[in-house]
Structure 1
Amino acid sequence: MRARIVAFIPRLRRFCGGLSESRHQGDDLMQATVERALSRIDQWQPGTSLESWMYRMARNIRIDRARADRVRGAGADVSTDVLPSDDVLARLEARSDLDAVRAAMALLPEEQRELMALVVIDGQSYKDAADILEIPIGTVMSRIARARRSIAQHVNRRPWEADA
């Protein structure tokens, strides 16, 4: 069982990164999820999806942390990650684009951000995402469409346009 959990870590890391505002927060969430899964493996029910169980666990940890941050009034962690590139201008542009997408993702409602992490970042099908989150597939489709529209509007916004 431990081997299955370890094999799932790369996909879980992508999912956790999509739920988080920075790579560091995503890695922390992934680590907390793996630790909890290993300590509670006796609670997993054979015959059910281990991956779905761990996705839900990550989601619940993220929700718990967000609630705790609101209570404490904690600020957001700002990422300074840069994509590797030989060309400095290309790196700056890529960083700017990545920062814009990350900022747009952070503005999404939690239910849309979760689905973007599952479908767009982790590559889950709409059906699998619906099963993982235990919601109808139509809800997945509409939330993904709204999230994509919102991200596109945010990323394509001109600097001189006022925030709405």
Structure 2
Amino acid sequence: MDQNVREELVNLMPRLRRFARGLTGCAEEADDLVQAACERALTRHHQWQPGTRLDSWLYRIIQTIRLDQLRAAATRNRHLDTIQAEHENQPPTDTHMETNLSLERVRNALQLLPEDQRSVIMLVSVEGYSYREAAELLEIPIGTVTSRLTRGRLALDRLLHSNEPEPACVQGGGS
């Protein structure tokens, strides 16, 4: 892998971390996921075709690793417990606190969505990709992107306007 590609990989890190965070809902898990994806990309760099989009290749690697992790967890029947966000019922003391709580509510609600809807929402609504670009990145038809995005947004709206508890990032073994 030449130096220009390595530099491009480094420049993509914030976007990769955001995408992984949206998929996992937890910063620590997202960092582990990005690290695994980068390791896979570096050890299998010969599989990337120069002239194609490096970001697309890396997003697919992240998504594949994440799906593998979810399948492995299901096979072992290990399900993560969900907990309510701390101080959920306490009123915010200032605008910054209110913004953080709102963002946390959205992150938590996002975790309740199916993985396919979450991936599309992260690419289109967070990363700013067009529907066509998201379809190419996920290797699905554009109509599927539109459908998943619509269903995901409607589900998020319902979750954010309900009084149901939402999951928080489950941290294992301390921080």
**TM over 0.5, shorter chain:** yes
Residue in 2 that maps onto 1:22: 26
Segments of 5+ residues of structure 1 without an aligned counterpart are: 82-86
Partners of 2:119 and 2:138 lie apart in 1 by 9
Q: Is the 8 A contact 1:21 1:79 kept in 2?
A: no
In structure 2, distance between residues paired with 1:110 and 1:158: 23
Q: Which has the higher contact order (CA 8 A, sep 6+)?
A: 2
Distance 1:159 1:111, change over 3 A: closer
Q: Report the secondary structure of 1:146's partner residue.
A: helix
- Residues 35-57 of structure 1: CA deviation (Å, up to 9, x unaligned): 21111111111232111111000
Equivalent residues of 1:29, 1:61 under 8 A apart: yes
Aligned length: 155
1:75-94 superposed matches below 5 A:
75=80, 88-94=93-99
CA distance change for structure 1 residues 17 and 94 in 2, over 3 Å: closer, same or farther? same
Q: CA deviation at 1:96?
A: 3.0
Match for 1:33: what amino acid? Answer: A
Asked if 2 retains the 8 angstrom alpha-carbon contact of 1:23 and 1:79, the reply is no
Aligned to 2:155: 150
After TM superposition, the score normalised by the length of structure 1 is 0.83
- Per the TM alignment, residue 89 of structure 1 is displaced from its structure 2 partner at its CA by 4.0
Q: Report the CA distance between 1:92 and its aligned residue.
A: 4.2
Look up the match of 2:103.
Answer: 98
Contact 1:22-1:78 at 8 Å conserved across structures = no
Residue in 2 aligned with 1:59?
63
Which consecutive aligned stretches of 4+ in structure 1 deviate over 6 angstroms post-superposition?
77-81
Determine what percentage of the aligned residue pairs are the same residue. Answer: 43
Q: Does 1:9 align with 2:7?
A: no
Instruction: Report deviation, 1:152.
Output: 0.8
For the Cα contact (< 8 Å) 1:119–1:129, is it kept in 2? yes
